[in-house]
């Protein structure tokens, strides 16, 4: 198997509406956990405030790098997704107008 050395990896993590993470705007640092792997990251306070009020989904993205033997998500930010509108029931079919004589 070939090993390829890369300087960073671009990642995107989707979150469904209603399952958004809670990040304190006063301290917008966070930890991502995947089994025994921990990745630290930080978003700006504005993104953390918007995350707290957003009702749709969101995608966290950033550049995954190794710093001092630890994984760090740099340039982390959220793309906010608009909530899906509720399905609308179809309108009843209109009856054709009778021809005027």
**Does 101 have pLDDT greater than 60?**
no
Assess contact for 72 and 53: CB atoms under 8 A: no
pLDDT band for 86, please (50, 70, 90 cuts): confident
CB under 8 Å to 73, separation ≥6 — which residues?
Answer: 11, 32, 39, 40, 41, 62, 63, 64
Structure-block tokens of residue 77: 């930010």
Task: Write out pLDDT tens, residues 23-76.
Answer: 999 999 999 999 999 999 999 999 999 999 999 999 999 999 999 999 999 999
Q: Where exactly are the structural domains of the chain?
A: 9-80
Which CATH class, in words, describes the domain spanning 9-80? mainly beta
């Amino acid at each position: 198997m070939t090993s390829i050395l890369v300087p960073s990896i671009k990642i995107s993590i989707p979150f469904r509406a209603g399952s958004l993470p809670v990040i304190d705007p006063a301290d917008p640092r966070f930890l991502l956990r995947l089994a025994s792997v921990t990745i630290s990251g930080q978003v700006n306070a504005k993104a953390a405030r918007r995350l707290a009020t957003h009702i749709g989904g969101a995608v966290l993205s950033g550049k995954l790098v190794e710093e001092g033997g630890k994984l760090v998500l740099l340039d982390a930010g959220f793309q906010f997704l608009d909530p899906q509108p509720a399905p609308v029931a179809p309108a009843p079919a209109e009856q054709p107008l009778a021809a005027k004589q």
